[in-house]
Amino acid sequence: MAIVFEKRMGRMRILKCFLLLVLLFYWEQGTADEARTARKKHGGDIRGEDDPLQKVEADQSSAVVSSGDIFNRNIALNSMCSYTHATIYQRGAFARRAHDGSYKTYWGIPHGVESAALEISWGLATIIDRIDIYELDSHIRSYRLEIDDGKGWRLVEAGGKIGPHCVISFAPCLASALRLSVTTDGKGGKIAEVEVYNSRSSASLPRYGSRRLIDAMRKAGTAVILYDGSPFGFSRFGRELIAPRERGCCLSNRWGRSVIRYICSRLGIDTVETGHGGVKLRLGTNVSRMEFDSSRDIIDQLRALSRDVGLAFYLRDSLLIIGRSIGPLTDRDVSEELRRLLGHDPALNHWVAQGKRWDGVITPFPQETGKTFEWTGFRVSIVPGTNVPAWLKYVGTHSIRTWAGAPRIMKRYVKVPQDIRDRNDFERYKQQLRARPEQSGLVDFEGFRKKWQSSLSFEFGTCNKLGITVLNETGPKDWDDRSWAANFHEWAATYALTYYLAKYYGVSAHQFGNEPDRYLERCSDRRIAFRLMFIADAVHSAIADVNRDCNRKLESIYTAPVLASDYVGRIARVMMRNLRIRYDGRRSDTDLVQLFDRHRYSDRPHQNALEVRRVKKMMQAEAGRTIGQVFTELNFSTAGNWRRPHITFTNDTANVFTSVAAILGAMMECGGVYGVFVFKVCTLREDDTPVFFSNTMTCSCYRERDPGVPRTKTTEISYTSKNLEACRLFAGSFYGSRPLFKTRIECSDRQYQAHTTFDAENDCYYVWSVQGNDWQSYDLIFDFSKLDVEVGALVTVEAVTSARHGEIVAQIELPSDRRVRLRQPAKSVILLKVLRRKTRKIIIPATADATVGQGQNAEVNRGRRKWLGVRRHSNPSLNEISFIRFKLPRMKAQVRHASLQLFGYSINSHAYDGGFLFRIYTLAENNWHEDSITGMNAPNLYRTVSSAVNVDLQHYPVGHLTCFREPRVLAVDVTRVIREAIQRSQTEVSFMLIREMHWKDENTDSMYARIASRETDDPDHIPSLRIDTSQ
């Protein structure tokens, strides 16, 4: 009986295992079906793990928030990670993993690759004498180690196997980068860590603080330091953002939860969420419970936390220290250093450099080495009834990529004849459509216009008004190409939409379908070539027919294959081999594809440049020549990565905008790139959930309005990120295939970038300067002595830093030695505009200015105060919006440059000085009066909220200004405003200074600005226009 029972139990176990396997199979199938359904429902916007772009950027799923352990003297630890370069980029084992402080991650060399190289930089040259290399396996057969001090590579050592830990010592020398070249046995290779030391020095690394501070931290043991209002905290991990995913300040009640979480993580306090806002805390044997309560004073909560878990608590002059033995940190000199470290934005500095020590000399030469991009623009959808046109005018781009696709817009209006059976039938109806495109009866243009003309007119009409060139994502990417009826459907839809956009809006540049990788990979080479060239025929036919019918000379531009992933793979190679082979097999006299189109999301300038070169090499191999490349999507990372919960970067993160700025420069220097479209300007939704973690470079929300005023159908642009500001500066200067000049850089940081171009229309040079050092400012000399630039010519400097938002930070008249000396902060971008000839400077003081209030102060006139206010507050009675008007003189000379100049400072209820950002609009209305203007009659202003009524092409933003606790000159470029006013024969111009809501539920109560008015006691501080004209 026992034996029979055991046999039955055995059969039961087998049956249970079988059933579990079946259930698991169907569960997985169901999950896959749900994923496919979700993608279909959302139009393919949900990216799965199999998505090409998602795979490409898997390594950016985690970001370095701090520079590591302050007691670690490894100079290369997490240094300039975006600039770490390798000849091989293997997904999951990128080069940055070789100096991330972990011996478990690594830079990987794939199987089959027998030689590779790795480069790591750490900024300006510093003294080193030892390099440690850690290998995770034993596949490396030989190595060659070189270092660079900015003057060139020199060999340190060459040897055989590296082994688990290889220590290379040498005489002390200056170096800013290393290059490790290796050979392998072809079975892969893994470099876990490369560490760089100055072993003869016991001093801490300057990036973390002084030796006094580091010694105090070592004596104190575990400690966390906070400063009132600062978004930064300090611990053994160095200075780091307390809550990178939140926009707020510490030691403010509403951010209490984030501050407590940060303190617990840095002090080793175990936390367990108990629900209902509660948390259980444990440090050793000490256990505490606390509730997150935004109504309770955060200082009281932190004091109670410290007491309950047995930690010391110190609060003095806005500095808060919590830890075990914090006595050394309360020393006066140490406390003062901590206040300096945490008390203001790290990029806050004076721009004009003094002294004799220079970190770099940049010298442009009048020697043309290449061209800028022709197209330097953005991916934008211009939604009717929104403020997108105004912001496009502000951005000043000359090219955009739009998304009016034929499958979505035109396909339903194509009447496919029932008798199409083969190619002959297709050709017959194709010719019929081409003969009379809008009267053939094969496309219902009347129905199409009824549905789409209004929105298309708004979108493409806006582009025409602003002089913007459009590349439209027109074509399909997947259809049944074995059916000639289906082929006609796709061809006719693409042709008809291309014809319409070309005839009525002059749009002559069109794309194949967006990211067709997964569809084309399933096709044979013949079918790939057919699809790409079939849509090419539709585009070129439509443009030719518009030229025929309307006597135009539009240049037909077709871009393909719009790849998301493998840029030198089968799809790309098939296209290049068939550049002049029509879909019907006949040869063409001209290329059917004008530009090689792909997408790229990356933070690595060297990798992007490497890929540009590899694409050119592939083109040469397949076609015997190259065509221009265009990147119709480019940004730091894909939206899918940005949304991951552990991601810390936003479009305001310094590493994001400096990396994108460096990528633009690096790809431009490579040559062969025709255009770049940064993804993307806006995402307008029907809900106003803030989207900070997205590759969309603006925030949007339902803008504040007076009660009873209906809101718009969708959200509108409410804030431009620093990434957009940096791209705006580049797009407005490095475009149009302008000459790219030789720019000599003498700097020990080999990653520092500078590029020079010339704008013939405005007779000026532009210099693009990208400083990627993580922690150190650079004193730079820009030497213009080799260029044809007059002494006394105006040089303006616009900057994007963690403390600046694209405004003018310096206006300098070129000195006699024609050298401009600037201090560029860490992780920053600046654009220098250098007029070639000396100008006539006209200073125009304001003729009227006033501040208006709202709420209880709505009817109060403040036109005679000595200061102007800018403030947005939850109590409307505290809102302040200011207006300034100038009378323009009659000017026959050309306006070369114009700037609005103010003098002001910020007031902050917190101790931290992070800057107060406000916006400047130009106004169409100049009929307001200083002595009678109030919140009830002010032009283009809502009566109860700090918000502009109209944001359009007549009332558009001209820039932003950031003021700090220390009073200083503020300036923003208004050249376009003044030129337009003179062109319209205006005698006056007006500006509105306002702080609007940037995102839903934003709280701006703690800060506001004070600007000197024309009634101020100091005449040098009166609001003024500086206009520089040709002499």
In order, the DSSP letters of 915-975 are -EEEEEEEES-----TTT--TTT-TTB-SSSS-BS--SSSS-EEEEEEE-SS-EEEEEE-H
Residue 57 has pLDDT above 80, yes or no: no
CB-CB contact of 36 with 46 (8 Å): no
Write the DSSP assignment of 73-98 as a string of letters.
--TTTTTTGGG-EES---TT--GGGG
- The pLDDT of residue 88: 84
Write the pLDDT tens digit of every residue in 783-813: 999 999 999 999 999 999 999 999 999 999 9
Residue 17 has pLDDT above 70, yes or no: no
With H, G, I as helix, E, B as strand and everything else as coil, classify residue 362. Answer: strand
- Mean of pLDDT values over 159-169: 96
Could you give the CA distance from residue 91 to residue 178 in angstroms, rounded to a whole number? 23
With H, G, I as helix, E, B as strand and everything else as coil, classify residue 326. Answer: coil
- The pLDDT of residue 352: 79
Could you give the CA distance from residue 576 to residue 405 in angstroms, rounded to a whole number? 24
CB-CB contact of 973 with 808 (8 Å): yes
- The pLDDT of residue 32: 38
Cα-based distances in Å from 124 to 67, 764, 803: 16, 31, 22
Helix (H) or strand (E) holding 700: strand 698-701
DSSP state of 613: H
pLDDT band with cut points at 50, 70 and 90 for residue 175: very high
Residue 779 has pLDDT above 80, yes or no: yes
Q: Who has greater pLDDT, 598 or 303?
A: 598
Write the pLDDT tens digit of every residue in 959-987: 999 999 999 999 999 999 999 999 999 99
Q: Is the dihedral of CA 930, 935, 936, 939 positive or negative?
A: positive
The count of other CB atoms within 10 Å of the CB of residue 813 is 15
CB-CB contact of 172 with 195 (8 Å): no
Domain definitions of the chain by residue range: 2-46, 72-197, 211-331, 360-372+738-837, 375-729, 842-1030
- The pLDDT of residue 22: 46
Residue with tokens 């020697």: 367
pLDDT band with cut points at 50, 70 and 90 for residue 204: confident
Helix (H) or strand (E) holding 654: helix 654-670
pLDDT band with cut points at 50, 70 and 90 for residue 200: very high
- The pLDDT of residue 571: 98
Could you give the CA distance from residue 425 to residue 411 in angstroms, rounded to a whole number? 19
Contacts of 7 by beta carbon, 8 Å cutoff, 6+ apart: none
CB-CB contact of 415 with 444 (8 Å): yes
Write phi, then psi, for 353 (nearest 5 degrees): -85, 145
CB-CB contact of 85 with 95 (8 Å): yes
Please, is 314 exposed, middle or buried when counting C-beta atoms within 10 Å of its C-beta (0-12, 13-18, 19+)?
A: middle
- Mean of pLDDT values over 541-546: 98
Could you give the CA distance from residue 399 to residue 404 in angstroms, rounded to a whole number? 15
Residue 24 has pLDDT above 70, yes or no: no
The CATH class that applies to domain 842-1030 reads mainly beta
For the ranges 227-231, 578-582, 720-724, 790-794, which has the lowest average pLDDT? 227-231
Could you give the CA distance from residue 525 to residue 569 in angstroms, rounded to a whole number? 12
Q: What topology does CATH give the domain 72-197?
A: Jelly Rolls (2.60.120)
pLDDT band with cut points at 50, 70 and 90 for residue 294: low
- Could you tell me the two tokens for 219? 């004596």
- The pLDDT of residue 40: 36
Write the pLDDT tens digit of every residue in 884-909: 999 999 888 899 999 999 999 999 99
Q: Helix 605-623 to helix 654-670 angle, to the nearest 10 degrees?
A: 30
User: What share of the chain in percent tops pLDDT 90?
Assistant: 79
> How far is residue 839 CA from its own chain's centroid?
35
Residue 254 has pLDDT above 80, yes or no: no
CB-CB contact of 906 with 963 (8 Å): yes
For the ranges 171-180, 340-349, 380-389, which has the lowest average pLDDT? 340-349
Residue 38 has pLDDT above 70, yes or no: no
Could you give the CA distance from residue 509 to residue 594 in angstroms, rounded to a whole number? 10
Angle at 941 (CA atoms; ends 936, 944), nearest 5 degrees: 60
Length of the chain: 1031
The CATH class that applies to domain 360-372+738-837 reads mainly beta
Residue with tokens 């270092």: 147
Q: Where are the alpha helices (DSSP H) in 506-569?
A: 517-520, 525-550
Could you give the CA distance from residue 452 to residue 680 in angstroms, rounded to a whole number? 23
CB-CB contact of 813 with 792 (8 Å): yes
pLDDT band with cut points at 50, 70 and 90 for residue 293: low
- Could you tell me the two tokens for 454? 């209004």
Residue 568 has pLDDT above 90, yes or no: yes
Computed over its alpha carbons, how large is the radius of gyration of the chain? 31
Please report, as a single letter, which amino acid is at residue 919. R
Domain 72-197 matches domain 375-729 at the CATH topology level: no
- The pLDDT of residue 29: 41
Residue 832 has pLDDT above 80, yes or no: yes
659: number of CA atoms within 13 Å, CB side? 26
With H, G, I as helix, E, B as strand and everything else as coil, classify residue 690. Answer: coil
- Mean of pLDDT values over 99-118: 93
Beta strands in 440-572 (DSSP E): 469-472, 509-511, 557-563
- Mean of pLDDT values over 185-204: 93
- The pLDDT of residue 53: 46
The CATH class that applies to domain 375-729 reads alpha beta
pTM recorded for the entire structure: 0.92
Cis preceding linkage at 476, omega within 30: no
Could you give the CA distance from residue 87 to residue 94 in angstroms, rounded to a whole number? 11
CB-CB contact of 565 with 56 (8 Å): yes
Could you give the CA distance from residue 920 to residue 399 in angstroms, rounded to a whole number? 24
From its phi and psi, is residue 441 left (phi > 0), alpha (psi between -120 and 50) or beta? left
Please report, as a single letter, which amino acid is at residue 701. C
Residue 132 has pLDDT above 80, yes or no: yes
pLDDT band with cut points at 50, 70 and 90 for residue 305: confident
CB-CB contact of 303 with 310 (8 Å): no
User: Residue 342 pairs with which residues in a beta bridge?
Assistant: none
- The pLDDT of residue 7: 44
CB-CB contact of 776 with 812 (8 Å): no
Write the pLDDT tens digit of every residue in 617-649: 999 999 999 999 999 999 999 888 887 877 888
Terminal CA-to-CA distance of the chain, rounded, Å? 114
Please report, as a single letter, which amino acid is at residue 308. D
- Mean of pLDDT values over 286-312: 81
Angle at 636 (CA atoms; ends 632, 638), nearest 5 degrees: 75
Q: Who has greater pLDDT, 10 or 467?
A: 467
Average pLDDT along the chain: 91
Angle at 470 (CA atoms; ends 469, 472), nearest 5 degrees: 165
Could you give the CA distance from residue 868 to residue 881 in angstroms, rounded to a whole number? 8
- The pLDDT of residue 642: 82
CB-CB contact of 690 with 999 (8 Å): yes
- The pLDDT of residue 591: 98
- The pLDDT of residue 304: 86
With H, G, I as helix, E, B as strand and everything else as coil, classify residue 876. Answer: helix
Helix (H) or strand (E) holding 56: helix 52-56
With H, G, I as helix, E, B as strand and everything else as coil, classify residue 867. Answer: strand
With H, G, I as helix, E, B as strand and everything else as coil, classify residue 1014. Answer: coil
Residue 381 has pLDDT above 60, yes or no: yes
- The pLDDT of residue 349: 77
Residue 4 has pLDDT above 60, yes or no: no
Could you give the CA distance from residue 603 to residue 657 in angstroms, rounded to a whole number? 9
Write phi, then psi, for 72 (nearest 5 degrees): -85, 125
Helix, strand counts (H, E) of the chain: 19, 46
- Could you tell me the two tokens for 682? 């806006």
- The pLDDT of residue 56: 47
- The pLDDT of residue 78: 93
- The pLDDT of residue 66: 37
- Mean of pLDDT values over 998-1004: 90
Nearest to 771 by CA among 783, 794, 753: 753
For the ranges 164-178, 291-305, 753-767, which has the lowest average pLDDT? 291-305
